[in-house]
Structure 1
């Protein structure tokens, strides 16, 4: 592995570890607060993560540009946020709702996740461009 790629992989891995820990903390806190009757924790981290991805994609790339290190950008966008957001968990929780014949909650989870996460990414873009 080249000397350039290894440090970037290392910072992505570190960002990923921090994102996973943060996801666990946020989703566990949400479940503690709202219960486990609906995948609130996963929905919350996906909305938060989508907003941050939209905001930071603009802010780090367009606003800070080359002044901001590509390694840090990769650590944040690929590592941290890639690990913090939970599409695979969303898929599994939705599948469990479907297997339990809870079609209303499954549909609600799909609808809320898609609409709010895409909306949150758009709001993040908008906020970053207003700076």
Structure 2
């Protein structure tokens, strides 16, 4: 696997399209930070980090509307990839769906949303869009 973040996003995208309740993903520190942001922004219901010896796993409970059963995640897209990195300074940070979505950015202060990066006045690598 050459791009573990793309694999992480693809597993979530596929689980949402198949209407699964839970998805299991191999863990890493970056994936844990992205999962925490998805939970804080209300795109996933809950998550659990499972660490066994040298292997870690992330269990994510996906969020659906109680009556219409529509998923909270409409789209999740990888922006910066190993073959073509995308960096933005503070003034050029993208707004996803005119502020309705979230761009996840890797900055020198850690992984955060585009809104937090603007508030802290830092730029960085744009990892993905979630809406």
When normalised by structure 2's length, the TM-score is: 0.26
More helix by share: 1
When normalised by structure 1's length, the TM-score is: 0.26
User: Highest Rg: 1 or 2?
Assistant: 1
More strand by share: 2
